[in-house]
Amino acid sequence: MAKILLLLSLTFAIVAAEASTQPLSPATKKSIDDLTLLFQEVIDSINTATPPAKKPEATRASSKHIHTAELDVAKAAKAGDEKKLAHLILSYRMASTMVIHAPPAEKLKVMEDTFNSAAAPNALECPNIDKAYCETRSKLNTAILGVVAAASPEQKKLGDKDSTLPKSMHTAISTINKAYADGDDKEIARVLAAYNKAADSVIAAPPSDKLKVMKSTFKHAAASGA
């Protein structure tokens, strides 16, 4: 069944490419075909690693991520945007490879993180892309750097053993990426607004309170994407 669905998705991608206002190069078309075959490897990898009782749930979860990825690629193909296509294909190839090589018990989690990341805007292209996304990423970076700069020598020593900062940043980026992967504009706006507000609170907080404020506001912002 999964292979049939993937074949239909491949057909959709090919049709989108043929309908492009700017015909895609043969190399790009081949890259799309190769990516679709790699997606099949991802599905097979997850299917093999999943116990029988959990296969239906795993199939639903993995199919959702694959479907989002294929829609992203098909949309860029239809627009004839070879630059965006190249970035998407590379991102999803890297994500797929990480899933395939992940330990069996971690494959779905790795897929969620990497495929959601691939679906989100490319932060390296800021500020020339999604303005709201770039503004939020910039504020998050400023907030985190502010917490680090405000830490006392004792706090910095403790910080080497405390995962609060990296976990908070990881959760923030993961929550934002998931919103983009889900494709709901209202959800994206809500999550970005929540993290904008959280970052503003951390930036405005006195140095001695920054870490405490970050823990509180980032936790609240994460709940907005639940």
In this structure, the answer to whether residues 113 and 6 fall within a common structural domain is: yes
Residues 151 and 83 in one domain: no
The DSSP secondary-structure symbol of 122 reads -
Q: Answer yes or no: do 146 and 113 share one domain.
A: no
Q: Examine the pLDDT at 223 and tell me if it is beyond 60.
A: yes
Same domain for 113 and 14: yes
Among 119, 136, 162, residue at a domain's last position: 119
What is the number of structural domains in the chain?
A: 2
Domain boundary residue, one of 119, 154, 175: 119
Q: Same domain for 183 and 94?
A: no
All residues at 6 or more sequence positions from 214 whose CB lies less than 8 Å from its CB, including other chains = 143, 144, 147, 168, 198, 202
Q: Does residue 11 share a domain with residue 114?
A: yes
Tell me how long the chain is.
Answer: 226
Q: Based on the domain organization, do 7 and 115 belong to the same domain?
A: yes
Instruction: Please indicate, yes or no, whether residues 29 and 135 belong to a single structural domain of this protein.
Output: no
Per-residue model confidence (pLDDT) at position 8: 44
20-71 pLDDT tens trace = 556 788 888 888 889 999 999 999 999 999 999 999 999 999 999 999 998 8
Give the domain-ending residue among 119, 153, 173.
119
Are residue 111 and residue 140 in the same domain, yes or no?
no
Compare 220 and 2 and report the one with higher pLDDT: 220
Residue 157 has pLDDT above 60, yes or no: no
Verify that 97 and 8 share a domain, yes or no. Answer: yes
Residues 6+ apart with CB under 8 A from 43: 2, 3, 6, 59, 62, 63, 66
- Are 159 and 198 members of one domain? yes
Tokens of 14: 């090919």
**Which of 65, 159, 162, 172 minimizes the C-alpha distance to 123?**
172
Q: Find, among 75, 20, 81, 67, the residue nearest to 39 by Cα.
A: 67
Q: Distance between CA atoms of 79 and 61, rounded to whole angstroms? A: 28
> Are residues 12 and 112 both part of a single domain?
yes
The mean predicted confidence, pLDDT, of the chain is: 85
Q: How far apart are CA 177 and CA 156, in angstroms?
A: 29
What's the CA angle centered on 141, arms 217 and 119, to 5 degrees?
90
Give me the numbers of helices (H) and strands (E) for the chain, helices first please: 10, 0
pLDDT value of position 161: 52
- Domain region containing 32: 2-119
